Each structure stands twice: as structure tokens, then as C-alpha cells.
Amino acid sequence: MDFVVYTLINTIFVLLISPLFMSLIKKVKAFVQGRRGPPLLQTYFMMGKLLKKERVYSANTSLVMRITPYIEIIFILVASLSVPLVFIPQPVAGIGNVILFLYLMVVAKFFMALAGLDAGSTFGGMGSSREMTFSAIVEPVVIVAFAAMGLVLKTANLHQMFGISLESALITNPAVLLTSVSLFIILIVETSRIPVDNPETHLELTMIHEAMILEYSGPDLALMEISHAVKQTLLIAIPVNILVPWGLTASPTVPGVLLAMISFALKGSLVAVIIGFFESMFAKSRLFRLPGLFMLALFFSFSTILFELLS
């Protein structure tokens, strides 16, 4: 019973909060560039507008184009269940398994790449080819980072990780700090932020993520944008909830959950601001320089492991 309540709260909260973070990042980048930037609720308005528009499909597309948006959203939503934002339920049949969480996101990426190819346009093809290449290169970095965290916290289940971080204040533990740096780099890569890929631009040669959803329109595009936003919130939530867990509650009491929601909103927006500044500081790096960045994240995770082994 407690699990059903958890799913409802967690999903609704994540759907509500993620567009906020997206527009907050846009606001910060605009502020750094000296402009006022779009209103905070701009992403909500965009979703609403897109839902009302008609769908336009290219003649070459097939079944894959039509089912990908749905696959995107449902896999990301199920992945969101393994990252408790507000309160930690009793573990149910390994939902929080790290590998499951990562691979659910890989499914979303897999079908998005196929959709990119389906329209038969050069940009879609280029987008999915680059997306699949760099997600393949980053995959070991991600898994080693989570493995390092698993080594530090002695468990491979996200729910238990958050539980353990709840009891012992981990902010002081250096190993966790190192993994959170590599987790932040992974966040930048997975949500295709500036050094890896430019989310705002539609300039053919520079966009990777945007190229794949170039052919989408109307409700499909809305679904794709929402799943992208939710994914970003999940990746923000993991380092945040482990480093600064004080908002999280173990029991589903109403005041506790409300407090947790507010605290997560604040923490999340703080990270969003950091991302905004981070993006403004860098220019998009050359494509084949990226593996260097990934190796940096890998270096951090290996140092965590060495740190853990030696101590």
C-alpha cells in the first residue's frame, strides 16, 4: 500500500517540478547574458501550446516514429520510481536497482535514436549517430561512478543509498564528494548541456539531442520535452539527495512530505542555478575532445575507489 502512495506522490511531484528547473536554467543563462529571459512558467506554457497543435509526420516515417514518444515517457517515469525525491518507501522487488535505473534511460535513448533515423533526414541521422557514440563512451563512466558510490555506501540499490545517507551525514565523507563531482559531469553529458551539446540551438552541425527530435511536432514533441525534463530532475536528485539528505522523510506523513517537497524544490533550483552558471562559463567543445571530459569523470570515480580501498 505504501508503495502505491509513493508512486503517486513521486511521479506527480517529478512531473510538476521538472519544467520549473528547465526554465530556471534558461532564466539563469539569460541573466548571465544580461537579458531578462523567459518567465519561470514558460516551459509549462510551451507544453500546453504543443499539446494543442496537430502532429506532422514525414512520408518516410514508419511505426517507430509514432510509438517512440510514448516509450520515452513511460520508461523515464518508471525510472523515476527508483529515485525517491520526497520519501523513501520500503524496498519493493529491487525497484531501486542502479543498473535497472540506468538501462531504463538507455531504452529511452535507443528509441529516440531510432526515431531520429526514421525520418530519413541527414540531421536526424547525424544526431542519432553522435548520440549513440557518446552515450556508448560515457556508459562505462556512469556505471563505474555508481559502482564507486555503491562501494562507498556498501549497497547497489538507490533506495538503500538514500536511506544510509539519511542516517549518517555524508557531506563530510570526501569519497562521496568525489563521486558527486563525477555525477555532476554525468548530469551535464546525459542532459546534453553546453560543453557536450547545445540544447537551445538548431544549428545543424552542433545539435545532437535536438537533431533527433527535429521531426517531431505537437503532442509528441511535448512528451519528448517532458521526458527530457524529468530525466534531468532525476539526475539532479541523485547527488542532491545523497549529499544533502535533510529534506527526505522515511514515513509518508503529510507534513513530512510537504516539507520534503519544498526542501527538494529549493535544493533542486540551487543545483539548476549552478548548472546555468556552469553552462554560461563554457563554450561547446569540439566533438572528438569529449572523451577527454569523460575520462575526467572516470578519474574521479577511480580516485574514490582508491580512496575507499586505502582507508
Q: How far is the CB of 81 from another protein (least distance, A)?
A: 7
Query: Toward another protein, which CB reaches closer, 24 or 235?
Result: 235
Distance of CA 67 to the CA centre of its chain: 22
Grid cell, residue 44, equals 509549462
Indicate the DSSP class of residue 197.
-
Q: Which residue, among 168, 77, 81, 72, has the nearest Cα to 114 in the 3D structure?
A: 72
Q: Please state the closest distance from residue 234 (CB atom) to another protein, in A.
A: 15
Instruction: Let me know: does 297 contact 186? Beta carbons within 8 Å.
Output: yes
The grid cell for 2 is 505504501
If the CB atoms of residues 102 and 270 are measured against another protein, the closer one turns out to be 102
In angstroms, the CA 151 to CA 239 distance is 16
Q: Kindly state the smallest distance separating residue 297's Cβ from another protein, in Å.
A: 12
Nearest approach in angstroms of CB 117 to another protein is 4
Minimum distance, C-beta of residue 134 to another protein, in the bound complex (Å): 8
Question: Exposure of 292 by Cβ count < 10 A (0-12 exposed, 13-18 middle, 19+ buried)?
Answer: exposed
Which residue lies nearer to another protein by CB, 126 or 273? 126
By C-beta, is 98 or 187 nearer to another protein? 98
Grid cell locating 52: 494543442
Residue whose CB is less far from another protein, 24 or 104: 104
* Three-state SS sequence of 127-168: HHHHHHHHHHHHHHHHHHHHHHHHHHHCCCEHHHHHHHHHHC
Shortest distance (Å) from residue 105 CB to another protein: 10
Is there a contact between 42 and 29 (Cβ–Cβ < 8 Å)?
no
Query: DSSP code of 213?
Result: T
Least distance to another protein, CB of residue 29, Å = 26
For residue 222, give the nearest of 55, 11, 23 by alpha carbon.
Answer: 55
State how far the Cα of 131 lies from the Cα of 207, in Å rounded to an integer: 10
Q: Least separation, in Å, of the C-beta of 32 and another protein?
A: 31
Nearer to another protein, 128 or 263 (CB): 128
> Is the Cβ of residue 254 or residue 310 nearer to another protein in the bound state?
310
Q: Indicate the Cα dihedral angle 151, 155, 158, 160, nearest 10°.
A: -130
Question: Exposed (0-12), middle (13-18) or buried (19+): which is 203, by Cβ within 10 Å?
Answer: exposed
**Looking at beta carbons only, is 56 or 266 nearer to another protein?**
56
